[in-house]
Chain A
Amino acid sequence: MTVEATSARGPETLPQVVIRFAGDSGDGMQLVGDRFTELSAMFGNDLATLPDFPAEIRAPAGTIAGVSAFQVHISDHDIVTPGDTPNVLVAMNPAALKANLRDLAPGSTLLINADTFEQRNLDKAGYAQNPLNDGSLAAFRVYEIPMTSITVEATKPLGVKPRDAERSKNFFALGLICWMYTRPTEPLVDWIKKRFASRPEVFEANVAAFRAGFNFGETAELFDHAFEIKPAPLPPGEYRQITGNVALSYGLVAAAQAAKLPLFYASYPITPASDILHELSKLKNFGVKTLQAEDEISAAGIAIGAAFAGNLAITGTSGPGVDLKSEAVGLAVSLELPMIVIDVQRGGPSTGLPTKTEQADLLLAMYGRHGEAPLPIVAASSPSDCFAAAFEAARIAIKYRTPVMLLTDGYLANGAEPWVLPDVDALPDISVPFATEPNHGDEFWPYLRDPETLARPWAIPGTPGLMHRVGGIEKEDGTGNISYDPENHDRMTRLRAAKVAGIANDIPLVDVDDPGGADFLVLSWGGTWGATTEATRRIRLRGKLIAHAHLRHLNPFPRDLGEVLHRYSKVLVPELNLGQLSKLVRAEFLVDAQSYTRVAGVPFHAAEIENKILEMMQS
């Protein structure tokens, strides 16, 4: 936090700040985090967020397991990560303090709801002594604020009962932070009004709490001044804030329009993918059909049926659901029908860490089916990029009549950032014609391929004269009739592989960010884009040369990837798994790619990658 201007009274200007709101799951931390994010977005900052909530809907109140946090990074310049370490921690109870303190650097600011630091809560958090009194917080700037009691006081004139009033304390915290970072308050008041329109007493209590927090900052003389983070000079355009799951949903809708196909989404509820189902199920006036299936397998089967019938068919899930869908996805490979399988990756194996992020399903996407069953894999790199990634997945699926695996992750799904809205009129036409005529004399051969794409014709039911049967049994090349012929199976296996491999000619070359002269390349994929980008920026600020390439397509790889990797003497692959992409590129290109991995359920800190690069530069 470098200080650019200081004045005793006016706000001090900062280039950026990372704030983490932490409290009990019932304390409404996600809500105030969202609000602060939106105010900052509207104010013109660049930003990125990292929500972090427990898997249990209501873990025991006051315990470490029940802590819910929301981190937001706001800046006056272009940023790509939610920030490594918070500069400010709002801790609504002892558990929130304990769970988050280890992430803080000395000198950071702690805003603590002092009312909650009594014996019962200290016990629940596992504090033997009150950290507010035992000197353990000496390295921090600690502000003990009786947030609950001030909130209760402030709402008393409204006739709110103390127990109800307590619930508004998150708005007190938000008010205080809004004062500290000179956020406009009116949009927030308007929002509260709208949100709680049907419950005026709640609306009034929340506004009173919010104002009390704001005024507390101004009048309590605890703080000598507020801070200000000026708007960021973002590229011109119309912006909104968006999370990955919403961006992905919109990307699918856009793709369906660009493909002139009805959208059919079949899914089974699963964290962290359910919001895609929620979002799409609202969009009935777009002709979007959604179905909450009885299980993951059914959702995949329904999507296959919808694809056969001529819809843009999608099934979305997380890792455990992909396991279950594997057999159906193999069928889609064999039927050669367009379909998108979304995997919003989370910590595994098994139930793993449902609400935490990981990128450990790459090899599952790549190889997780019996037999030779290759399919294209597309991965999103940031929350807003989920829009473009979904569109690209649809383009490939439709053009090549193949299931496509679309990988995002828990961080991208729930993280938010400003998004410059795309021009919907400029979206490319990705439609393909359905087959309408016989293609082999007066016969229709469902497996007679397009010589260029190797895609088979998509002839949908209702088309006279093109009746045909498809199935999971090996098909004769061309006719599609059942065939157990060994040579035919060899040929068909190679054809399916060649079709997917050939997509390499239809995707961009690797976009290498190399200012020139670097002999060290960092290769990232998926949600590690932000942390890797930030790490390489920092390396360059240190005056060192570094190149960065990020992969959107994981299968097939861009056709020049091998050549790019061989240009550098050092290649580092940071991943939130135990080295899956590094394995693939080592196997594919015989390149000595070094793996840097972490599976802690959270995105990389840029500093972690930065330090790894520095370490490798020294060796």
Chain B
Amino acid sequence: MTEGTGNGAGTSVKLARKDFQSDQEVRWCPGCGDYGILTAIQLLLPETGVKPENLVFVSGIGCAARLPYYMNTYGVHSIHGRAPAVATGVALARPDLDVWVIGGDGDMLSIGGNHLIHALRRNVNLKILMFNNQIYGLTKGQYSPTSEVGKITKSTPFGSLDHPFNPVSIALGAEASFVARTHDMDRKHMTEMFRRAHEHQGAAFVEVYQNCNVFNDGAFDTILNKDARPDMLIDLKHGQPVRFGTEGQHGVMMNAFGEAKIVEVADVGEDKLVVHDETRVDPSLAFALSRLADHPETPTPVGVFRAVDRPAYGASMQQQLVAAVERSGPGDLRALLRSAPTWTVE
């Protein structure tokens, strides 16, 4: 029960999407981006070979956080912001399980920001999917920690004064060993990012741009509209020069300050472009790339920013227990009670 790789023991029986669907009616608003994300997860899981009973989906509060109810797996719909903590408990108690954390930008970056960064820092074996819709949906439309400055919402009738977070930058700053970004308009890309996250040993953070068509419709249109995508999405590919545009005419170059800058390939030549390396131990390159778009209105990188090997917390914890038994033998309660001087009264 305590052994295992932590990404769910495999199965020989071929499972299908329906094996991961619960009998509960999905209750997001019609047209919500969450539907597509749920589908991508449910389509991916049968391919991974993980058994439904070895999966645990943990969430906090918010629209995204309802997802566990729709999964035919184990699930905990916990309290606002605390999903990474609850999931940490599940994953460390049972390193054999395949544990996913689902939440939104308010849940994970506002009320639960502390838990998120510490789960990433510890490298707990969790697949953390953050659905970023840049708004509070469940509470009916207040600005979120990823909303742009000046945003008019119910709680900011004169415009928000808050500078937004860049979730990928946060994750990188929090020492995350796996960081990726995807969006709800491209199931193939989403599935690929979730698959990569799933294969990663340790904490994997995936930001998913998600459209809230009720309270923040079209927030990502500038970059995600079909015609806009070629020029606005920078698809990061490990080992390849960072290029984008219909003809691959744009590219990314590092300047003398270590900042990533968008350039025209024709102006600088391909060999000046930065070659993406998601495995760099130093997160500077990934961080520089994450800073390309302050906000998803200018060309924005998607894909895997960083994927490095670092011991997963659960495995290290397990090793300490094993080492302790090797060193001092299995715990003996009788001896423990006598670990201080004793005396006998006849």
| Residues in A lying within 8 Å of B, measured CB to CB | 38, 41-42, 44, 187, 233-242, 250, 253-254, 257, 262, 264, 266, 283-289, 291, 293-295, 297-311, 313, 327-328, 331, 335, 420-422, 424, 460-473, 481-482
Interface string of B61-85 (1 = CB under 8 A from A): 1000000110111111111001001
A18 to B114, CA, bound (A): 48
Given B57, B114, B338, which contacts A421 in the complex, CB threshold below 8 Å?
B338
On whether the beta carbons of A309 and B338 are closer than 8 Å, the reply is no
Instruction: Knowing A461-B56, A461-B74 are in contact, say whether A301-B336 is a contact too (CB < 8 A).
Output: no
A42 to B345, CA, bound (A): 10
On whether the beta carbons of B93 and A240 are closer than 8 Å, the reply is no
The interface residues of chain A lying within 8 Å CB-to-CB of B344 are: 236-239
Given known contacts A287-B321, A291-B88, A461-B56, what 4 new A-B pairs fall within 8 Å (CB)? A285-B321, A305-B92, A424-B337, A462-B96
On whether the beta carbons of B53 and A462 are closer than 8 Å, the reply is yes
The interface residues of chain B lying within 8 Å CB-to-CB of A294 are: 114-115, 118
Report the minimum CB–CB distance from B341 to chain A (whole Å).
6
On whether the beta carbons of A236 and B345 are closer than 8 Å, the reply is yes
On whether the beta carbons of B89 and A301 are closer than 8 Å, the reply is yes
Does B189 reach chain A (CB closer than 8 Å)? no
Given B24, B90, B92, B324, which contacts A308 in the complex, CB threshold below 8 Å?
B90
Does B327 reach chain A (CB closer than 8 Å)? yes
On whether the beta carbons of B75 and A462 are closer than 8 Å, the reply is no
Instruction: Knowing A285-B329, A309-B97, A472-B79 are in contact, say whether A302-B1 is a contact too (CB < 8 A).
Output: no
Most A-side CB within 10 Å, residue of B55, B58, B92:
B92
| Residues in B lying within 8 Å of A, measured CB to CB | 1-2, 22, 24, 51-58, 61, 68-69, 71-79, 82, 85-94, 96-97, 114-115, 118, 317, 320-321, 323-325, 327-331, 333-334, 336-338, 340-346
A424 to B46, CA, bound (A): 48
Instruction: Knowing A237-B345, A328-B79 are in contact, say whether A305-B86 is a contact too (CB < 8 A).
Output: yes
On whether the beta carbons of B115 and A422 are closer than 8 Å, the reply is no
The interface residues of chain A lying within 8 Å CB-to-CB of B57 are: 469
* Residue on B nearest A463 in the bound complex, by CB: B53
Report the minimum CB–CB distance from A268 to chain B (whole Å).
11
The interface residues of chain B lying within 8 Å CB-to-CB of A327 are: 79
Instruction: Knowing A264-B93, A469-B69 are in contact, say whether A236-B346 is a contact too (CB < 8 A).
Output: yes
Closest 10 CB pairs of A and B: A305-B89, A471-B77, A301-B85, A286-B331, A284-B324, A469-B75, A302-B89, A309-B93, A306-B93, A294-B118
The interface residues of chain A lying within 8 Å CB-to-CB of B58 are: 305
A467 to B177, CA, bound (A): 30
The interface residues of chain A lying within 8 Å CB-to-CB of B327 are: 285
Given B91, B336, B346, which contacts A283 in the complex, CB threshold below 8 Å?
B336
The interface residues of chain B lying within 8 Å CB-to-CB of A464 are: 51, 53
The interface residues of chain B lying within 8 Å CB-to-CB of A308 are: 56, 74, 76, 86, 89-90
Report the minimum CB–CB distance from A329 to chain B (whole Å).
10
Report the minimum CB–CB distance from B3 to chain A (whole Å).
12
Instruction: Knowing A294-B118, A467-B74, A471-B78 are in contact, say whether A302-B342 is a contact too (CB < 8 A).
Output: no
Q: Can you give 18 A-B contacts (C-beta < 8 A)?
A: A38-B341, A44-B345, A236-B345, A237-B344, A264-B89, A285-B321, A301-B78, A301-B85, A301-B89, A303-B89, A304-B86, A306-B89, A328-B79, A328-B82, A424-B337, A464-B53, A469-B69, A482-B24
The interface residues of chain A lying within 8 Å CB-to-CB of B94 are: 309-310, 460-462
Given B68, B69, B337, which contacts A250 in the complex, CB threshold below 8 Å?
B337
Report the minimum CB–CB distance from B83 to chain A (whole Å).
8
The interface residues of chain B lying within 8 Å CB-to-CB of A303 are: 89
Report the minimum CB–CB distance from A552 to chain B (whole Å).
21
The interface residues of chain B lying within 8 Å CB-to-CB of A38 are: 340-341
* Residue on A nearest B329 in the bound complex, by CB: A285
On whether the beta carbons of B76 and A253 are closer than 8 Å, the reply is no
Given A287, A301, A310, A462, which contacts B86 in the complex, CB threshold below 8 Å?
A301
The interface residues of chain A lying within 8 Å CB-to-CB of B82 are: 297-298, 301, 328
The interface residues of chain A lying within 8 Å CB-to-CB of B68 are: 469, 471
* Residue on B nearest A427 in the bound complex, by CB: B333
A457 to B248, CA, bound (A): 58
A233 to B345, CA, bound (A): 8
A102 to B345, CA, bound (A): 37
The interface residues of chain A lying within 8 Å CB-to-CB of B323 are: 284
Report the minimum CB–CB distance from A440 to chain B (whole Å).
13
Most A-side CB within 10 Å, residue of B78, B89, B346:
B89
The interface residues of chain A lying within 8 Å CB-to-CB of B93 are: 262, 264, 289, 305-306, 309-311, 313
On whether the beta carbons of B343 and A424 are closer than 8 Å, the reply is no
The interface residues of chain A lying within 8 Å CB-to-CB of B86 are: 301-302, 304-305, 308
The interface residues of chain A lying within 8 Å CB-to-CB of B91 are: 305
* Residue on B nearest A246 in the bound complex, by CB: B340
Most A-side CB within 10 Å, residue of B82, B118, B324:
B82
A289 to B321, CA, bound (A): 8
A264 to B114, CA, bound (A): 21
Given B53, B77, B90, B114, which contacts A295 in the complex, CB threshold below 8 Å?
B114
Given B53, B75, B317, B331, which contacts A285 in the complex, CB threshold below 8 Å?
B331
Given B2, B76, B320, which contacts A470 in the complex, CB threshold below 8 Å?
B76
Most A-side CB within 10 Å, residue of B115, B338, B343:
B343
The interface residues of chain A lying within 8 Å CB-to-CB of B22 are: 469
The interface residues of chain A lying within 8 Å CB-to-CB of B89 are: 264, 266, 301-309, 313
Report the minimum CB–CB distance from B82 to chain A (whole Å).
4
A253 to B333, CA, bound (A): 8
* Residue on A nearest B24 in the bound complex, by CB: A481
Instruction: Knowing A42-B341, A463-B53, A467-B52 are in contact, say whether A285-B324 is a contact too (CB < 8 A).
Output: yes
The interface residues of chain B lying within 8 Å CB-to-CB of A482 are: 24, 69
A463 to B96, CA, bound (A): 12
Report the minimum CB–CB distance from A63 to chain B (whole Å).
34
Instruction: Knowing A253-B333, A289-B321, A461-B97 are in contact, say whether A297-B85 is a contact too (CB < 8 A).
Output: yes
* Residue on B nearest A425 in the bound complex, by CB: B334
On whether the beta carbons of A465 and B53 are closer than 8 Å, the reply is yes
On whether the beta carbons of B24 and A467 are closer than 8 Å, the reply is no
On whether the beta carbons of A473 and B77 are closer than 8 Å, the reply is yes
* Residue on B nearest A297 in the bound complex, by CB: B82
A298 to B325, CA, bound (A): 28
On whether the beta carbons of B92 and A302 are closer than 8 Å, the reply is yes
A114 to B267, CA, bound (A): 86
Given B61, B78, B329, B346, which contacts A304 in the complex, CB threshold below 8 Å?
B78
* Residue on B nearest A295 in the bound complex, by CB: B114
Instruction: Knowing A302-B85, A305-B90, A421-B338 are in contact, say whether A285-B77 is a contact too (CB < 8 A).
Output: no
A472 to B281, CA, bound (A): 40
A462 to B330, CA, bound (A): 26
A269 to B137, CA, bound (A): 36
The interface residues of chain B lying within 8 Å CB-to-CB of A44 are: 343, 345
On whether the beta carbons of B342 and A421 are closer than 8 Å, the reply is yes
